[in-house]
Structure 1
Amino acid sequence: MESNFTTDRNYKYEKAKEKVQTIKGFYGNLLAYCIVIPFLAYINYNTTSFLWFIFPALGWGFGLLMNGLYAYGYSPFFSKKWEERKIKEFMQES
């Protein structure tokens, strides 16, 4: 039977591992954005005068912003306190 200390350490390790994976995913997304958007801009400038690349840049940029906020623990809609409150609420129901 595992002690509470071991269980708590395992839980903290798993949460930390998830956090690192989330941040790593954000940086992968950021790198892709920094490569793809300038490439699209280059194609756009060499093919037409309509600046269509701005649409994927803004859309992906907004998604990237939200991903970054989530990765670093800031959520304007669902704060950490809200999340903890909901977890406690659901645990009490069970």
Structure 2
Amino acid sequence: MESNINETKYRKAQDRVVKLKRFYGRVFRGILAIIITGAINYYLNEWTHPWFLWVVFGVGLSLSLKAFRLFGTHLLFGKDWEERKVKELMDKDVF
């Protein structure tokens, strides 16, 4: 029974590491794409028309959505936040 639990935890941790590795690869490729398109934009018109900002917006939006899916909502309002808020409200005696 104990070995099954450990094996399950190991597989979940391994899956999480694979997802994190994939996400960091996407971040690197996104930054590389922004640098390349920014350089092309500068070479073509010296940023008089900064069209590469559309690439920045697209890459940023895509990475934000992937990060939200990977890290979940617990970044802002996770279990720790709930516990801290309950303790805070109890200490203030709001009710």
1: CA distance between counterparts of 2:55 and 2:73? 23
Equivalent residue letter for 1:64: L
Match of 1:7 among 4, 7, 26: 4
Q: In structure 1, what is the equivalent of residue 18 of structure 2?
A: 21
The structure with the greater share of residues assigned to helix is: 2
**Partner secondary structure for residue 30 of structure 2:** helix
Matching of residue 46 in structure 1 with residue 40 in structure 2: no
CA drift at 1:80: 7.8
Instruction: Provide the TM-score with structure 1 as the length reference.
Output: 0.66
* Unpaired segments ≥5 residues, structure 2: 80-95
From the CA coordinates, give the structure whose radius of gyration is larger. Answer: 2
- Give the superposition deviation at 1:53: 1.0
Q: How many residues align?
A: 75
- The amino acid of 2:35's aligned partner reads P
Partner of 1:87: none
RMSD: 2.3
